[in-house]
Structure formats: C-alpha cells, structure tokens
Structure 1
Amino acid sequence: MQIETLKDVLHWTQQFHHNLSECLSHCEDKNVDERARIMLDYLSEHEKVLSGVVSGFEKSGNEHALNTWCYEFVNRHPITQHVHCDAPFAELDATQIMEVVSDQHQQVIELYRHLASRADIPAARELLETLQALEEHEMMRMTHASNRLEDY
C-alpha cells in the first residue's frame, strides 16, 4: 500500500486492526491454553471494534487534515503492512500474546506521535493527537483486561 496522505495512514491503521483481529481469531482455536484462548477472543473482538472506529475517522474526518501529505516521512521510515499471522499466537500464553499485541500497538502510537509533532496544519495535528490518545486509551483498556484475566 502506498502511503502519501494522512487518509492513507488511517486506512493503513484500519487495516492493521482488521488484520490483527483476523489473525487473533484464527489462532484462537489452535491454542491449547484456556487463558490464551480467552485472551485471543477478547483481543480479536477489541481489534475489530478499533478497526471500525478508525474507519469512522477515515470517513468523517476533516478533509483538509486527511489530505495532508506525509509522504516525506513515509519515504524515510516506510510503513509496511505486517502479516500478523507470522506471530505464533497459537503457541503463546496469554502474557506473551499481550506483549506482542502491546508492542504492535506501541509502534502505531509512536507513528501518530511522530506525525503529530511534524504536522504543520492544526487540523492534522489535532486529528493525529486524537488518534494517538485513542490508541493509548485502548492499550490501557486491553492491558487492564489482561491483568484482570491473570487474577483469575
């Protein structure tokens, strides 16, 4: 996928969440650890919801902000579509699954943070800061749910 504008970044992020959801769901039946299966199910549903939320930003966001070019940044730091099913979620325990998902989300958060720090247009900066806050909040929710699962 060629990424040139913030709308492209949003589309990439929506696809990231969608693909991760699909992979987590796909691996759920293959994992023998009950807690891991519960974690995979929860995270899969969470990623599906996030995909929809990001898609909403993509459809209803400020056109001026969405059409902001980020081509220069992407040329220097290419964004590659990860094939999440390369990660052996079927063989990981709940803690390891959460570590992999957290790491992947942290990379998205860092992308938004960097793009926001370089945005010249206030509407673009606001959009990116909102998306960064959304991703951070959702990471906290997933981590909190993961910790609750460990308590049982």
Structure 2
Amino acid sequence: MQVETLRDVLVWTREFHKNLAACLQHCAGKNENARSQMLLAYLARHEKELTETVDGFVDTAETRALNTWCYDYMDKHPILHSVHCDAPFQDLEPDEIMSVVSNQHDQVIELYRYLYGRADIEETRELMEELKSLEEQQIKQMVQGVNRMRDM
C-alpha cells in the first residue's frame, strides 16, 4: 500500500490491526500451549477492537488533517508486517508473543510520534496525539491482561 497522506496512514493502521488480529486468531488454534492459546485469542480480540476504533477515525477525523502529506516517513522507516500469516505465533510462549506484539505496537506509536513532530497544523497534531494515546492505552491494557493471566 502506498502511504502518502494521514488518511493513508489510518487506512494502513486499520489494515495492520486487522491482519494482526487474523494472524493471532489463526495461531491460537495451532499453538499447543494452553496459556499461549488464551493469550492469542485475547490479543486477537483487542486487535479487532483497535481495527474498529481506527476505522472510526478514518470516518470522523478532520478532513484537513487527513489530507496532510506524510509519505517521507514510510520511505525512511518501513514498518514490516506480513499481509499473510505464516503462523509466526504458533510456536511461541506467552512472553515471546507479548514481546512481538508490543514491538509492533511500539513501531506504530513511533510513527505517530514522528508525524506529530512534523505536523504543521493543530488538527493534525491533535489527531496524532489521539492515535498515539489510543495505541499506548491498548498496549497497557494488553500487558495488564497478560499479567492477570500469569496470576491464574
């Protein structure tokens, strides 16, 4: 996908979360560790919720902000994620799964931070701050959920 505007970034982010959710769900049935299965299903639900939330931003965000150009970041800092799930989570333990998912979310957060720093208009800064906060809150919730699973 060619990312040129913030609208494209939001569409890319939505697809990122959608693909990650599908991959996590796919691997949940293939992982032999019961805790890993529960974690993968739990994370997949969170990713689905994020997909819907980001989709809401695509529909409701300020048009002026969505039309802001931002193609330079993705050229210099490509965020890698697979469109197809090759079951990368099926053999991982819960800590490893959480590490991979956290790292992927950190990359998205870094993208939003960068775009916030480059924003020329207030609407763009507000949008990037909202999205960054959303990602940060979701990863905190996921980590708390993992910690609760450990206590079981």
Q: Do both share a fold (TM > 0.5)?
A: yes
Counting only pairs closer than 5 Å after superposition, residues 120-139 of structure 1 correspond to structure 2 as 120-139=120-139
The answer to whether the 8 A contact 1:20-1:84 is kept is no
Partners of 2:84 and 2:130 lie apart in 1 by 25
Aligned to 1:117: 117
- The within-5 A match list for 1:1-150 is 1-83=1-83, 85-86=85-86, 88-150=88-150
Corresponding letter in the other structure for 1:102: S
Contact 1:12 1:81 in 2 (8 A): no
Give the 3-state SS of the residue equivalent to 1:75 in structure 2: helix
Provide the TM-score with structure 2 as the length reference: 0.95
Contact 1:11 1:55 in 2 (8 A): yes
For residue 75 of structure 1, report the CA deviation from its aligned partner. Answer: 3.0
Unaligned runs of 5+ in 2: none
Between the aligned residues of both structures, percent identity stands at 53
When structure 1 is superposed on structure 2, of 109-118 and 86-95 the one drifting more is 86-95
Secondary structure of the structure 2 residue equivalent to 1:91: coil
Structure 1 residues not aligned, in runs of 5+: none
Residues 35-84 of structure 1: per-residue CA shift (max 9 Å, x gap): 00000000001100100000000111100000000123333334455347
TM-score w.r.t. the length of structure 1 is: 0.95
| AA of the residue aligned to 1:114 | Y
Deviating runs (4+, > 4 A) in structure 1? none
Secondary structure at 2:51 match in 1: helix
Number of residues of Structure 1 aligned to a counterpart in Structure 2: 152
- State how far apart, in whole Å, the 1-side matches of 2:142 and 2:84 are: 18
Contact 1:65 1:127 in 2 (8 A): yes
What's the secondary structure of 2:2's corresponding residue?
A: coil
Q: CA RMSD in A?
A: 1.4
Deviation track 1:65-123 (CA, whole Å, cap 9, x = no partner) reads 00000123333334455347246211011111111100000000000011101111110
